[in-house]
Amino acid sequence: MVAGGFAGTILIGTALLMLPIAKAGAGGATFLEAIFTATSAVCVTGLTVVDTATYWTPFGQVVILLLIQVGGFGIMTFASVVGLTIARKMSLRSRINAASEIKSVGLEDVKGLVRGVVVMSLAIEFAVALILSLRFLTGYGEPVGRAIWLGVFHSVSSFNNAGFALFSDNLISFATDPFVCLPIAFAVILGGIGFPVIVQLRKHLRSPLLWNMNTRIVLAATITLLVAGTVYLTAVEWSNPATLGPLVWQDKILVGFFQSVQARTAGFNSVDTGAMDSASLLGLDVLMLIGGGPAGTAGGIKVTTFAVLFFILLAEVRGEVSVNVFGKRLSRAVHRQAIAIVLLAVGVVVISTAALMLLTDISLDRLLFESISAFGTVGLSTGITAGLPAAGQVILMLLMFIGRLGPVALASALALRQRRSTYELPKERPIIG
């Protein structure tokens, strides 16, 4: 039902974007241009085959903005409702214990949960839009109406991790402006950590002992990956004359941090991604595949999935029988769910990249980057998306759709589908390694 709702929204957006009033100049957009843009907007990805700033009229840009907002609301609400459903599948005692421990979203009615998602999203978007509008107005001399529109569009696009921008060079012109880059980065981080984490931080910001395992994992993994990504990208690109080379050291750190945030999965770029070193692209591949937190607007396999695999590895290296995380034992069912999601994600990306290699003569590193960016609903691009054949663009659309709904739907299906067996088969261990 959820997949059908997203598909229906994409088709409505496609029809609106094909109207002559949506495209600048004579005629209307082609079906492929319209459906690719609509898919990218609803799946809050940001990959484009045309220049958003010049190809679409204000009407077309408003349609894109609405599609982004609907897509962001939809995935946050769906993921939160799924979490509520899973909670209600537990025994009454477990539900009471969980509610008393978490003291946040857990047993509220669905209407209240949806209302919370909407209010929180609009509040953050309003605050960021206000800051950006004032900056465009006072710092760049934009007219009041234009400044407000730029602030609102980029605020919605950043909080929903969409990566659409109303400038032909995305945000390269503002690479060294912290009053533009930092509010956008802040909105991306908030949208990416997820609704449950934001709710719990709002209630217990100064009481970390009351945070549940999900909040602790998301915050620890997010901070670690942001710092590691910033250090890695800044170091690799430090002397690259096409990216960070000409900048002073303060600006290099700002750009490195901004790009590390965007890989979480927003897709704005303040430098030319296509000019980055291959080692940087590989680092971005890893960050994009991991993504952000669950029940948020970010994509990827989610930081919780990555963290679970890390703790499983740590337990195996130490020879421990159980996997312990922040003083709690991890459910064995979560082990299997994490492994299933990662293997399926890797399989989808590998198959798609191989298909793109058969269709084009573009190098592996760029095709792999584009595939992961689409699957992770990131939107970063080395500049090859518009030049791909129609079949290649269809593959990217499928990747965006699967990447947007697939991990959440798969995780919920695995969590909700529990089949009890009345017997167990005898154990045997194959040789590993």
Q: What pTM was estimated for this model as a whole?
A: 0.87
Q: Which residue shows structure tokens 């602790």?
A: 216
Question: In the beta sheet, which residues pair with residue 23?
Answer: 56
What is the secondary structure of 185-201 as a DSSP string? HHHHHHHHH-HHHHHHH
426 assigned to some structural domain: no
* pLDDT value at residue 197: 87
429 assigned to some structural domain: no
Per-residue pLDDT of the chain (433 residues; tens, 9 = 90+): 777 888 889 999 999 999 999 999 888 899 999 999 999 999 999 999 999 999 999 999 999 999 999 888 776 666 656 665 555 554 545 444 444 433 344 444 556 667 777 888 899 999 999 999 999 999 999 999 999 999 999 999 999 999 999 999 999 999 999 999 999 999 999 988 987 888 888 888 888 888 888 899 999 999 999 999 999 999 999 999 999 999 999 999 999 999 999 998 888 999 999 999 999 999 999 999 999 888 778 888 999 999 999 999 999 898 888 888 888 888 887 888 888 889 989 999 999 999 999 999 999 999 999 999 999 999 999 999 999 999 999 999 999 998 887 766 666 665 556 666 677 888 787 877 7
Give the 3-state secondary structure percentages of the chain, helix then strand then coil, rounded to 5.
70, 0, 30
143 sits in which H/E element: none
Question: In the beta sheet, which residues pair with residue 329?
Answer: 324
Question: In the beta sheet, which residues pair with residue 383?
Answer: none
433 assigned to some structural domain: no
* pLDDT value at residue 296: 77
423 assigned to some structural domain: no
76 assigned to some structural domain: yes
Residue 348's identity, in one-letter code, is V
64 assigned to some structural domain: yes
* pLDDT value at residue 85: 58
Residue 305's identity, in one-letter code, is T
Do the beta carbons of residue 292 and residue 182 sit within 8 Å?
Answer: no
Do the beta carbons of residue 210 and residue 326 sit within 8 Å?
Answer: no
Number of structural domains the chain divides into: 1
295 assigned to some structural domain: yes
Find the domain containing 303 and state its range.
Answer: 2-416
402 assigned to some structural domain: yes
